[in-house]
Structure 1
Amino acid sequence: MRAVIDIGATSVRMAVAQIAGDGSVEMLESLQQGVGLGRDTFTTGRIRLSTTEECVRVLRSFREVLRQYRIDHPDCLRAVATSAVREARNRDAFLDRLYIATGIPVEAIDGAEVNRLTFFSVQALLREHEALLSDQLLVVEVGGGSTEILGFRQGRVAFAHTYRIGAFRLREMLEDYRQPQAQLREILDSEARTGVRQIRETFRGRKSPVILYLGGEARFAAARLGAKQGGAVQRIAVTRLAKLADEMLGYSVDELVRRYHLSYSDAETLGPALLTQVRLAEALNLRYVYTGTPTLRDGLIAEMAAGSAWTSDFVEQILASVQEVGRKFDYDYAHAEVVVTAARKLFDALRDEHQLSFHYEVLLIVAGWLHDIGTYISNRSHHKHTQYLIENSDIFGLSGEDLKLAALVARYHRRAVPRPTHEDYMQLDRSRKLTVSKLASILRVADALDRGHAQHLRDMSVTVEPDRVVIEAARPGDVTLENMALREKGRFFEQIYGRKVVLRPSRRGE
Structure 2
Amino acid sequence: MSTSSRSEATKEYSSSEAAPPRIVAVIDIGATSIRMEIAQIGAEGRIKPLSRLVRPVDLGKDAFTSRKFQRKSIEQAVKILKSYQQALLEFGIQSPENIRVVATSAVREAANRLQFLDRVYIATGLQIDSIDEAEVNRITYMGIQPHLERDRELSSAKAVVVEVGGGSTELLVVRGGNVLASDTYRLGAVRLAEVLETLGAPRSKRRAIMENRIGQTVAQIQELVRIDMRIELIAIGGDIRFAAHHIHPEWDGSTLAKLPISQLERLTNAVVDCDQDEIVRRYGISFAEAETLGPALLTYLQLAKAFELKNIYVSNTNLRDGLLHEMAARDSLTAEFRNQIIRSATTLGRKFDFDEAFAKHTAELASKLFAQLREAHRLESRFEVILYVAALLHEIGNAISDRSNHKHAMYIIRNSELFGLTRHDVLLVALLARYHRRAFPQPSHDPYGTLQLDQRVIVSKLAAILRLAIALNASRSGRVKDIRCTTERNRMVIQVPGVEDVSLEQLAMRQNRGLFEEIYGKAVLLRSGR
Instruction: Please give the range of the TM-score, normalised by the shorter of the 2 chains.
Output: over 0.9
Q: Deviations over 1:94-135 (max 9, x none)?
A: 222223333333322211221222122223222222232124
2:97 equivalent among 52, 72, 75: 75
Report the Cα offset of residue 356 of structure 1: 1.0
Alignment-mate amino acid for residue 131 of structure 1: E
Distance across 2 between alignment mates of 1:15 and 1:468: 52
Distance across 2 between alignment mates of 1:143 and 1:160: 15
Report the Cα offset of residue 85 of structure 1: 1.5
Distance across 1 between alignment mates of 2:445 and 2:300: 44
Q: Is the 8 A contact 2:506 2:526 kept in 1?
A: yes
Distance across 1 between alignment mates of 2:265 and 2:412: 38
Report the Cα offset of residue 353 of structure 1: 1.3
Alignment-mate amino acid for residue 84 of structure 1: A
1:261 aligns with 2:271: no
1:446 aligns with 2:464: no
Matching residue of 1:44: 66
Q: Deviations over 1:136-184 (max 9, x none)?
A: 2222111111111122232123333222111122222223424433123
Report the Cα offset of residue 319 of structure 1: 2.1
Q: Deviations over 1:186-243 (max 9, x none)?
A: 1111111012222222224643532211110120121123496224201223343233
Closer, same or farther: CA 168–465 of 1 in aligned 2, 3 Å: same
1:241 aligns with 2:264: yes
Pairing of 1:315-334 with structure 2 (within 5 A): 315-334=338-357
2:296 equivalent among 253, 273, 298: 273
Closer, same or farther: CA 378–468 of 1 in aligned 2, 3 Å: same
Alignment-mate amino acid for residue 380 of structure 2: S
Alignment-mate amino acid for residue 412 of structure 1: Y
Distance across 2 between alignment mates of 1:326 and 1:154: 21
Distance across 2 between alignment mates of 1:464 and 1:420: 30
Q: Deviations over 1:249-270 (max 9, x none)?
A: 1111121122222222221111
Report the Cα offset of residue 437 of structure 1: 0.9
Matching residue of 2:491: 468
Number of matched pairs: 507
What is the alpha-carbon root mean square deviation over aligned residues?
2.2
Report the Cα offset of residue 400 of structure 1: 1.2
Q: Which blocks of at least 5 consecutive residues in structure 1 are unaligned?
A: none
Q: Deviations over 1:328-367 (max 9, x none)?
A: 3322221012211221222222211111110111211111
Pairing of 1:289-300 with structure 2 (within 5 A): 289-300=312-323
Closer, same or farther: CA 478–228 of 1 in aligned 2, 3 Å: farther
Matching residue of 2:426: 403
Distance across 2 between alignment mates of 1:216 and 1:320: 31
Matching residue of 2:49: 27
Q: Is the 8 A contact 1:374 1:383 kept in 2?
A: yes
Pairing of 1:106-505 with structure 2 (within 5 A): 106-204=128-226, 206-226=228-248, 229-231=251-253, 232-308=255-331, 311-476=334-499, 478-505=501-528
Q: Is the 8 A contact 2:203 2:273 kept in 1?
A: no
Q: TM-score, normalised by structure 2?
A: 0.90
Q: Is the 8 A contact 1:159 1:395 kept in 2?
A: no
Identify which range, 260-269 or 202-211, moves more after superposition: 202-211
Closer, same or farther: CA 107–168 of 1 in aligned 2, 3 Å: same
Q: Is the 8 A contact 1:120 1:299 kept in 2?
A: yes
Report the Cα offset of residue 443 of structure 1: 0.7
Distance across 2 between alignment mates of 1:125 and 1:150: 14
Pairing of 1:85-124 with structure 2 (within 5 A): 85-124=107-146
Matching residue of 2:6: none
Report the Cα offset of residue 309 of structure 1: 9.1
Q: TM-score, normalised by structure 1?
A: 0.93
Report the Cα offset of residue 77 of structure 1: 2.0
Q: Is the 8 A contact 2:256 2:315 kept in 1?
A: yes
Identify which range, 350-359 or 307-316, moves more after superposition: 307-316
